[in-house]
Amino acid sequence: MSLIRWLEEWYKSQCEGDWQHYFGVEIGTIDNPGWRVTIDLEGTELEDKDFDEYRLTTIETVL
């Protein structure tokens, strides 16, 4: 399963009440170019779990 598919399934599993109205997943672009992903864990089973910040840097040229 791809990471984006996993994220989609995880998000869907959180949408059983009010969580999706107050929290969620945000994917945006940054200017160097790149992507920024922010995931609100408040109110989920992952809320109290410690996570290290994760940065993946790649350079890809599209011709």
Token duo for residue 59: 């350079």
The pLDDT value recorded for residue 16 is 82
Residue 19 domain boundaries = 1-63
Neighbours of 23 (CB within 10 A): 16
pLDDT over threshold 60, residue 63: no
Report how many domains make up the chain: 1
Tell me the whole-structure pTM to 2 decimals: 0.66
Write the CB contacts of 11 (distance below 8 Å, at least 6 apart in sequence): 20, 24, 25
pLDDT band at 48, cuts 50/70/90?
very high
The pLDDT value recorded for residue 9 is 92
